[in-house]
Amino acid sequence: MNSARRKLAETLAVIDVVIEVTDARLPGASSNPLIEELRRFRNRPCLKLLNKADLADPEATRAWIAHYDACPGVHAAAISLKKPGAAACIPALARQLAPHRTGGDKPLRLILTGIPNVGKSTLMNALLKRRVAKVGDEPAITKSQQTLDLGPGMTLTDTPGLMWPKISHDIDGFMLAASHAIGRNAMIDEEVAARLGDIVLARYPASIVARYRIDPAGMDGEALLEAIARRRACVQKGGASDLEKAANIFLTDYRNGALGRISLETPESREKMLAADAAIPPAQAANDGSEAR
């Protein structure tokens, strides 16, 4: 990651527009603060792409687009790379952010950035209309930068998924793990699923009813996993509930959209979370487990 960060900083010096791919279900948590810091230092405009919009709550996605469009030098768009032709609008959107590079013999230089497993390589392949980058539903597929021509007067540099050294907010780590941006070896599935359950129960209880035929009244995330285990006959030898299996069912249902279109955060909820975290003294936050895992 340190090597990727240094290389990104070097490349930003010679590009015109940063394209950052985020997960539409958690745009704030899946936006790398290091990318924002580096692109602001170089005063580069940013095209924020909220990918996987087909899995996100449309109302929340509209709120995020309005939020980002109000930021200086930023334009946002929601996309779903599962849909043919979804990437076709991106070159024109990028050109709008760098009108000084339109025309002439100098190409518009773009860089594609983002955290692992948000769809950067899929987007690269879609833009070039051929397979040039390996893709997969796992973090850290892309290992090194590559720059390719994106048609007349435009180049695109693809970069490895870049995480930051320390996740400052505990809930961000759980949301990233639930959405498969963090590998399974970094966190415990049952804990991730329980925290995901807390969010879904609070914001989308009807999804729980529709998917599992469970009454969610009065439940927290841990109780939800117990109920899913009973409903789906996830039982260990001896009769105890197999919470690991229930967690995997719940996480898979969220990741593939079987729970419906769910967003884990909105601009308003993120602002409240940041304000609440800022109100906790650092020593108390450490004791409460707010350090990145």
Distance between CA atoms of 78 and 69, rounded to whole angstroms? Answer: 12
Distance between CA atoms of 1 and 182, rounded to whole angstroms? Answer: 13
Q: Which of 179, 53, 191 is nearest to 116 (CA)?
A: 179
**pLDDT in the model for residue 141:** 44
Distance between CA atoms of 279 and 27, rounded to whole angstroms? Answer: 23
Residues 136 and 240 both lie in one domain: no
Strand, helix or coil for residue 270:
helix
Residues 144 and 272 both lie in one domain: no
Q: Which of 170, 194, 166, 190 is nearest to 284 (CA)?
A: 170
Residue 42 CB neighbour total at 10 angstroms: 13
For position 258, which CATH number holds? 1.10.1580.10
pLDDT tier, 246 (very low <50, low <70, confident <90, very high otherwise) = very high
Q: Looking at residues 163-189, what average pLDDT do you find?
A: 87
Residues 15 and 81 both lie in one domain: yes
Q: Which of 107, 92, 139 is nearest to 120 (CA)?
A: 139
Write out the residue range of the structural domain in which residue 54 sits.
Answer: 2-158
Which residue among 98, 129, 158 closes a domain?
158
For position 69, which CATH number holds? 3.40.50.300
Summarised one tens digit per residue, pLDDT across range 42-93 is: 999 999 999 999 999 999 999 999 999 999 999 999 999 988 889 999 999 9
Whether residue 186 is predicted with pLDDT greater than 90 in this model: the reply is no
In a domain, 126, yes or no: yes
Distance between CA atoms of 228 and 167, rounded to whole angstroms? Answer: 30
